[in-house]
Structures are given as C-alpha cells and as structure tokens.
Amino acid sequence: MMNKTIPIKISLYILPACIPMLLFWFIPIFVTFGISFTNWDYMTELSRIRFLGVKNYISIFKDIRFYQCLLNTLAFTIGTVLPMMLIGFTLAQLIYSHKKEHPIFRILLFSPWVTPTVAISIVWIFLFDTDQGFLNQILSYLNVSKVPWLTSSKVALISVMLVTVWKSAGYAMVIFLGALHRIPKSLFEAASMDGAGTLEKIWFITLPEIRNTILFLIFTGTVSSIRAYDQIQILTQGGPSGSTRTLIYYFYQLGFEEFDTGKASATAIIILIITVSISAVQFMILSKKESSR
C-alpha cells in the first residue's frame, strides 16, 4: 500500500509545474500545428477556414526568402556563438588566474546579460549612428571613412552580431568560471611540476575537463541565436534588403505584417523542429559521455 502511495505523492509535487507547461507550451504547439495546415488569418471566420494540407509548407520551401533567412540564421549563429565562447573563456581564464581581482569586474562584465535586450539595442543605435555615433567618431579621428553600421546590407548583420556577442559574453564567462573552479587544483600543480606552461595546461587539462560546459554553451547558444528577435527588431527590422532577416523574424513578418497565419504557423513548426533536434543532439552527446565514464 505504501509503495502505491509514493508515486501519487510524487505526481502531486510535479503537477503544479506540469499544468503551466501544458497550458502555455504543449497546447499552443498543438494549436499552431493545426493552424499550419489551414488558410486561417486573423480576419477569417471559423466557418470559412479551409484545410490546405501541406500547401503552406510547400509554399515556404518555394519562397526564396526562407532560404535567405536560413543562411542569415546560420551566419548569425556561427558569428555569435563562437565569439561569445572565445571571449567568455578568455575572460574567465583571466579572472581565474588572478585570484585578487575585485568582484566588481565580474559584475560589470555580467551586467549586459541581465540588462533587457531592448534597452541595450537602443543604446547601440546611438553608438552606431552614421553621423554622430561614437564608433564613427573614433573612425573619423583615425582618418578612416565612416561605416554605415545599420544601413548597409554588407555590415548590418555583423553589427547585430556585435551587439549580441557583447550582451552574451558575460554569461559565457560566468558559466566557464564555474567550470574552472570545479577542476581539481592538483592537476595544475602536477603539470607545473612537470614543467608545463600556461597554454599546455589549458590545452591538456582545462579544455578536456570543461568539455561538457563547452558543449552546453554551444547548444544553448545556438538555440538562443535561432530565437533572437529583440535586437533585430530594434536595430534593423530585418533590413536592409532582408540582410538581417532570420527565421524568427521571417515568422514575425508572415504572422504580424502579412497576416498569413497559416504560413507563419508552419514556419514556427519548422523552427521548433530545428531547436528540438539541436536539443536532442545535445542530450544524446552528454548522455553518451556520462555513460562512458
């Protein structure tokens, strides 16, 4: 009798967390999946909704904008995740190796991450301003021609990447710093006795010991980059000429500018499949590494 009541008690503890997930995650997903096969928009009456089958998906895969968005998303992901990790690891390594650093440095470096993306993007608009922006003022002082940071299709995506990396590098630093503190100091002491230098310690001790943290940041950073919207909306609105239009912004334009809810829902399902696939790969890799220990 006791053994039967234990699962019931466990279920009661889990239930409060499951109800919001059911209401705000699973049900909207199923509704979105259903809408993706219809012609519904915000104006159509329920009686006039028609089932289109996979026409919305076919239409998306025939839309050249979709492939442009796919390439932009890929470029944005690579251009933000790798620099974020490199800068974050470098900062974490510097702080870890200098035991007497003041905590204020960590706070300052981490503060962009906890600052709303909208607020950060507005500040960067002034920094990127072609005529009076701080960055172009520096370039003028160095006798370098001004750069149209947000109005050139060649530079706009890089500018958005710069803002994203600046915001997220502090987060990566904190995660790496926590991983560095979990490495046994005896490993570094033994390496020092064998005459290993700093770079050798990093390559042969630090990186292998924090490989799970590296994988975690790669996968979470990738998903975060795919879902990035705020900075694109504030800085460029997907322009110029669609050069900063990513998959999530493509979804926004279909649903809230063109009011094509069916195609927007299909795009949302495609984005969901991509993010779930990435999460599944992360789970399998980490599970395989844990089981091999």
Q: What is the pLDDT of residues 253-284, one digit of tens each?
A: 999 998 899 999 999 999 999 999 988 888 88
* Residues sharing a CB contact under 8 Å with residue 28, sequence separation 6 or more, in sequence order: none
Q: What is the pLDDT of residue 292?
A: 62
Return the residue matching tokens 């928009």: 41
**Alpha carbons 171 and 291: distance in angstroms, whole number:** 28
**Alpha carbons 265 and 250: distance in angstroms, whole number:** 11
Q: Is residue 233 part of a domain?
A: yes
In this prediction, residues 187-201 reach a mean pLDDT of 85
Q: Is residue 163 part of a domain?
A: yes
DSSP SS3 for 246 = coil
Percent over 70 (pLDDT), the chain: 94
**Alpha carbons 183 and 285: distance in angstroms, whole number:** 21
CATH of the domain at 208: 1.10.3720.10
Q: What is the pLDDT of residue 230?
A: 95
Q: Is residue 250 part of a domain?
A: yes
Q: Is residue 257 part of a domain?
A: yes
Question: Is 1 a residue whose pLDDT tops 50?
Answer: no
Cβ–Cβ < 8 Å for 262, 38: yes
Kindly indicate the confidence band of residue 291, based on its pLDDT and cuts at 50, 70 and 90: low
Provide the domain count of the chain: 1
Inter-residue long-range contacts of 142-146, CB under 8 Å, 24+ positions, other chains counted? none
**Alpha carbons 90 and 43: distance in angstroms, whole number:** 53
254 vs 29, 36, 263, CA distance in Å?
18, 12, 7
Summarize pLDDT for 84-112 with one digit per residue, the tens.
Answer: 999 999 999 998 888 766 778 888 889 99
Domain that holds residue 203: 63-291
Q: Is residue 247 part of a domain?
A: yes
Strands (E), 146-255: none
Compute the chain's Rg from CA coordinates: 24
Q: Which amino acid is at 92?
A: A
Q: Is residue 5 part of a domain?
A: no
Q: What is the pLDDT of residue 7?
A: 66
Q: Is residue 190 part of a domain?
A: yes
Nearest to 36 by CA among 57, 22, 50: 57
Q: What is the pLDDT of residue 289?
A: 64
**Alpha carbons 48 and 108: distance in angstroms, whole number:** 56
Summarize pLDDT for 28-64 with one digit per residue, the tens.
Answer: 889 999 999 998 887 777 778 888 889 999 999 999 9
Q: What is the pLDDT of residue 2?
A: 47
In this prediction, residues 111-121 reach a mean pLDDT of 94
Q: Is residue 82 part of a domain?
A: yes
